Structure 1
Amino acid sequence: MAARQLPLDLALEPGFAAEDFFISGSNESAYQMIERWPDWSNSALILIGPAGSGKSHLGAIWAAKAGATTIAAATLAGREPAALVAAGALLIEDLEAIGPGQAQLFHLVNLALPRRLPLVMTARRPPGPDNFDLPDLLSRLRLAPSVSIGAPDDALMRMVLVKLLMDRQLVVDVRLVDYAALRLDYSLEAARSFVEKLDREALARKSRVTRQIAAEVLSAMAGGDDGEADAGAAEAYGPT
């Protein structure tokens, strides 16, 4: 059995710079909206997309352009809306996690909109009574323009995998990228998790990255016990 070593935990922080954002059919309309800022007809915008779709990345790109302060919606409870608005442009992240902060968000929106203060919010789904129980806030949010980001498509998953592998200086056969992209959940977080685990496993085995290792990592991520079958499928792609 090959010797294993304990790899250092050197997880890379996701890059939220504009040059790290890849455009595909799933996010092009949202990207173009952010690019048009500040030429918006309305000062508010809700970015809607599933987990791992890249809405936080796109929000960060806008925040850098607008000089906006980023606030987690979960931290709004107990904060003073007037003080937040006085700080200037705002990015409110993850509306679903707002919890008891709905009244603060309602007052914040009421203060921001008349002043045309730039305000971008991210959410996993359109605002509705299932996630907002303050009717006045829900009414305000439904009036705000929104743009949706879809789950990553094949092209985007491949581009992101290549970028993540390059960031870690991992050299792999392009067919491994195709193999992984077809089997991962269509989520940018899934791509990041896969590459991190792949890197750690190769380091632990003191081995270069192979399709067999990739198959075993994918099987473990799926919670399955069919690693041998996956490895066999991987080897069908040719020698590593």
Structure 2
Amino acid sequence: MTAEEKVPLRSRQLTLELPLAPGFGPEDFFVSGSNESAYAMVERWPAWPDHVLIIKGPRGSGKSHLGAIWAANAGARILPAASLGNAEIEALASSGPLLLEDLEALGSAQTQLFHLINLIRESGAALVLTAERPPDAWGLGIADLLSRLRLAPCVEIGAPDDALMRAVLVKLLIDRQLVVDIRVVDYAALHLERSLDAARIFIEALDREALARKSRITRQMAADVLRALLKADADDLTAIDEKE
């Protein structure tokens, strides 16, 4: 390890940089075993078995990305579920396909969602809901609403598998025109949290660190960035290295 690489991350001058916006186009979505069934359902639109579809998966699994792909194909509006309480439900239902994000944040707008689902089905439009957990875990107090949601088709995205994590890391590196040894990608894919958000945050931090050090990206630099992001102590990092 060089003397430059030994300098703690927080002790050097930070490099200011505007982060790249995450790409939500179909070309940026990688299909793997963790998301292929959900992707296949979205690709089937409009030949769906119901007017309402739930996309379920953990944070950072790609729900919003997949929803955005459908919204672009369907010409759908995208709204956070938290804003439903202030929406004109009849106007919203008559405006065409709709993607409603983060249903756990629905709050007190359960009645609005209930009417929205009924109106969507009457109009023949489509409604996609994204959530981390199934409807039974949303804390709903309207039995008829819960009943309708239980009947809606639900596709699940799992946490990113190894293949997906590697593909996303490589894509993020290419987007930033960063050249690294494939062992750096393998190391990061093995030790990062299984989340696409975690991959993006890691690559952003790695890019800043390489600029700050004015150095090529190495496996040791990747380990340093991981340590800083995860706030792990030296013993934890040593244990991770020994696993390899």
Q: TM-score, normalised by structure 1?
A: 0.92
Q: Which residue of 2 aligns with 1:193?
A: 201
Equivalent residues of 2:104, 2:138 under 8 A apart: no
Q: Which residue of 2 aligns with 1:82?
A: 90
Q: Which residue of 2 aligns with 1:107?
A: 115
Match for 2:20: what amino acid?
Answer: L
**Alpha-carbon distance in 1 for matches of 2:220, 2:126:** 49
Equivalent residues of 2:94, 2:123 under 8 A apart: no
User: Size of the alignment, in residue pairs?
Assistant: 236
Cα distance change, pair 132–5 in 1 and its aligned pair in 2 (3 A): same
Counterpart check, 1:60 vs 2:52: no
**Alpha-carbon distance in 2 for matches of 1:32, 1:51:** 20
Equivalent residues of 2:79, 2:101 under 8 A apart: yes
Question: Root-mean-square deviation (CA), in Å?
Answer: 2.1
SS in 2 for 1:182: helix
Cα distance change, pair 144–134 in 1 and its aligned pair in 2 (3 A): same
Deviations 1:100-119 (A, max 9, x none): 22111111111101222111
- Which residue, out of 20, 28, 44, partners 1:20? 28
Cα distance change, pair 106–53 in 1 and its aligned pair in 2 (3 A): same
Deviating runs (4+, > 6 A) in structure 1?
A: none
**Alpha-carbon distance in 2 for matches of 1:103, 1:121:** 16
User: How big is the shift at 1:78?
Assistant: 2.2
SS in 1 for 2:91: helix
Equivalent residues of 1:48, 1:147 under 8 A apart: yes
Equivalent residues of 1:5, 1:206 under 8 A apart: no
**Alpha-carbon distance in 1 for matches of 2:237, 2:119:** 59
Cα distance change, pair 230–206 in 1 and its aligned pair in 2 (3 A): farther
Cα distance change, pair 130–85 in 1 and its aligned pair in 2 (3 A): closer
Counterpart check, 1:203 vs 2:211: yes
Counterpart check, 1:45 vs 2:56: no
User: How big is the shift at 1:230?
Assistant: 4.6
Q: Which residue of 2 aligns with 1:122?
A: 130
SS in 2 for 1:23: coil
Equivalent residues of 2:60, 2:198 under 8 A apart: yes
SS in 1 for 2:79: strand
Counterpart check, 1:94 vs 2:102: yes
SS in 2 for 1:76: helix
Q: How much identity, in percent, do the aligned residues show?
A: 62
Equivalent residues of 2:56, 2:155 under 8 A apart: yes
**Alpha-carbon distance in 2 for matches of 1:54, 1:232:** 27
Structure 2, unaligned runs of 5 or more: none
User: How big is the shift at 1:232?
Assistant: 9.5
Q: How do 1:174-189 residues align onto structure 2 when only pairs under 5 Å count?
A: 174-189=182-197
Deviations 1:35-63 (A, max 9, x none): 11111121210001010110110000000
